A and B are shown apart, each in its own frame.
Chain A
């Protein structure tokens, strides 16, 4: 890999501008409760059409990294996680804030994010050649089983809500079958409409499910959000000096805690459907379990913040592994990054890391750069102002988001029909969210559907119609066994329960 050499790209002012701008936008979006870095990326996605691919991917990487730590700002100051990945940070950060140690909590969050982010990204780079070699062993039949595994895990990861998640995944799969069949020249579910025969573009689904539905949800929650804004006004001004966590406190947390949490985060990241909140949660639970004084957690123990934040940032590195090697995204952000690749005609696969190293290496470099440099720098320089940024006028904010979303869907497709699809998807996603369906599952179903169908059909052609091939091929047998293991541990035994709704 040419990652080391790619750092020089960051010396280019244009590239650096996009990376830093991406990071700031990602941080601001994840800091504002309700908005996420995913939304930021969905809104900016149409712009990547006219951007150089390498630069676009680098900006994506920095938004991704920013999205995992920006949420800790409101989590700490007003006990409302700005992004789901920071919900564990709120448990420890807010008590610290009440003790007057808010800046210190944020400092710990930033430091943990930095360690975890760098760890995950470096692990990704170091293991990339190995992963690429291993992934060549996975042929069509194995890929079919792998996607089945991914979809199963994505669905059962929604604990307590598995049936709704399964429905959402099915809806995604159904939407993906609209349009021309990939293997035989016939149109499906087009109802004689030329526009539908072309199928539903990925862009309307992404912008609809994230941006339009968010607009509707925010409008519905307008009064509640106004209260949060009022609450933010009462937050005391933060002094910059308090941000830097003292060395003694970092030592008390211990290198082992950082390392363990980062590893947990990375591994969780490689699993489909898990994401930053799951990584942070598991690392936090592990930190409490192994702590000598478990009672101190929940009352403002910085170790909890360190564990959760280093884990959720390590997720970034892990989550890129299945996306780059198999084109299987595990969370919405990697799904959108996959979109950037597809728009530019780049096919993810085992070959990607080698043949397109010039494209992927800079992205990984940006990932490491944003973790190592931008996280601490942003927190230090802009930390005192973030509370004010988060209090941005809601009508201005959502007016701009509405504009970006609709115009973006035009720019992405140049088609009024696909713009209408964006609206339809947004309304569907709004009602799904209202009635407790996970919309991310719909998006992942939509993305994974065509692959699942293609691999299934091709597997059976390759084996001349023999179904047992899924059990006789070692690659697919591996994933089928893995699926069974996950179903057993996650759905049947039901070990740790995620606190629902938090």
Chain B
């Protein structure tokens, strides 16, 4: 049964060439056909999904949710392994080294696309080893202010930073991250200067600092601060995007203030480089179906994240231009 499948595939010619005599050892043929079948009948085994950060948190939840929906239309299941470390490099290096047969896939985010290639910090990490096939979500960052700061709008925040440079304390993720770049770009665009405080790890620490009044403002996604926003301890003043977020009608986009500063995080799915095209296609359609399902759309909106699909055709181009745009902005600021 394996042989007929094998002959149907593109491997056929290679087998014909390699195996000159028709009666050559059948064992070799079986071994070859096993590979061939892997490509023809994908998936053969359960698919391993590497999420390159530790479990918990929004991005992990999105990856798990869409994978659990995607596996419904597959004969096998998709299981998630959280391999955290080195701002996603550890897990993605494992993905890059995995057999490129589609049975190992992974998730990329801002750090994987911008921070790591830019800093060149982890030897052996390269985007060239990966084959992105879809972008699932995109989430804009926003500026929120602490209730104790006394500011109630974006203009007040900027005015205060202008009046007394370096005294308004704004909490962001560490150097190299999207929010850090955003605050530097904001400083350049408005001509003010903040006291920029780094909070590594999750945005929980920033939420706590807003609550205790240690910082006046912070930059991260509105979803990250949903707890203290709804309790009134913090206020979203502006979203760093070009269009109004429907989930937060009170938070204007920064384009309304005449500033072009779009930044945020996203989730991209990828397979190892050199994964056969038909396998990529299967993966893409499977995930696209899951993405389009009502359940996913409703769920993702409910956690305040904007769905934003890009297929395998567009996603590579998008990543490249995103990377280029961000690197240019970094070059301009000497970061």
User: What residues of chain A have their CB less than 8 Å away from a CB belonging to chain B?
Assistant: 49, 136-137, 139-140, 179-180, 182-187, 190, 192-195, 197-199, 201, 342-347, 349-351, 355, 413-415, 454, 457-458, 461-462, 464
Partner pick for B207 among A192, A343, A351, CB 8 A cutoff: A351
Is the beta-carbon distance between B56 and A183 smaller than 8 angstroms?
no
Q: Is B302 part of the binding interface, using a Cβ–Cβ cutoff of 8 Å?
A: no
Q: How far is the CB of A464 from chain B (nearest CB, A)?
A: 7
User: Most chain-B CB neighbours within 10 Å: which of A342, A345, A346, A351?
Assistant: A345
A415 touches B94 (CB 8 A): yes
Q: B208's closest neighbor in chain A, by CB?
A: A349
Nearest-CB distance from B218 to chain A (Å)? Answer: 13
Q: Are B83 and A414 in contact (CB under 8 A)?
A: yes
14 A–B contacts from the bound complex (CB under 8 Å): A49-B55, A137-B212, A140-B214, A180-B122, A183-B175, A183-B198, A185-B115, A186-B119, A186-B121, A194-B86, A197-B123, A344-B54, A347-B201, A351-B227
B contact residues, total (Cβ < 8 Å): 45
Main secondary structure of the interface of A (DSSP, over half): loop
The answer, yes or no, to whether B310 is at the interface (CB within 8 Å) is no
Q: Is the CB of B54 within 8 A of A350?
A: no
CB distance from A57 to the nearest CB of B (A): 13
Q: Which residue of A lies closest to B200 (CB)?
A: A182
Q: A139-B212, A346-B56 known; 9 other A-B pairs, CB under 8 Å?
A: A136-B211, A180-B87, A190-B122, A192-B123, A194-B125, A198-B85, A199-B85, A347-B201, A414-B81
Closest to A348 in B: B204
Enumerate B185-204 residues with CB–CB distance to A below 8 Å: 195-202, 204
- Say yes or no: is B209 at the interface (Cβ < 8 Å to chain A): yes
Shortest distance between the CB of A450 and any CB in chain B (Å):
8
Residues of A within 8 A of B212 (CB): 136-137, 139
Chain A residues near B196 (CB-CB < 8 A): 461
A345 lies within 8 A of B94 (CB) = no
Whether B209 lies near A345 (C-beta < 8 A) is: no
- B93 in contact (CB, < 8 A): yes
Residue of B whose beta carbon sits closest to that of A180:
B86
Chain B contacts to A: CB under 8 angstroms:
54-57, 60, 81-83, 85-87, 89-90, 93-94, 115, 118-119, 121-125, 166, 169, 174-176, 195-202, 204-205, 207-209, 211-212, 214, 227
Q: How far is the CA of A23 from the CA of B10 in the complex (A)?
A: 58
Cα–Cα, bound, A57→B86 (Å): 27
Knowing A197-B89, A351-B204, A355-B227, the reply to whether A187 touches B209 (Cβ < 8 A) is no
The answer to whether B86 and A197 have CB atoms under 8 Å apart is yes
Say yes or no: B208 contacts A351, CB within 8 Å: yes
Q: Which residues of A contact B82 (CB under 8 A)?
A: 49
Residue of A179, A193, A345 near B54 (CB, 8 A) is: A345
- Contact at A194–B89, with CB atoms within 8 Å? yes
**Quick one: closest B residue to A351, CB to CB?**
B208
Cα A139 to Cα B171 in complex, Å, equals 14
| Also in contact, A187 and B204, with CB within 8 A (given A198-B86, A355-B227, A462-B214) | no
Provide the bound-state CA to CA distance between A355 and B56, in Å.
Answer: 14
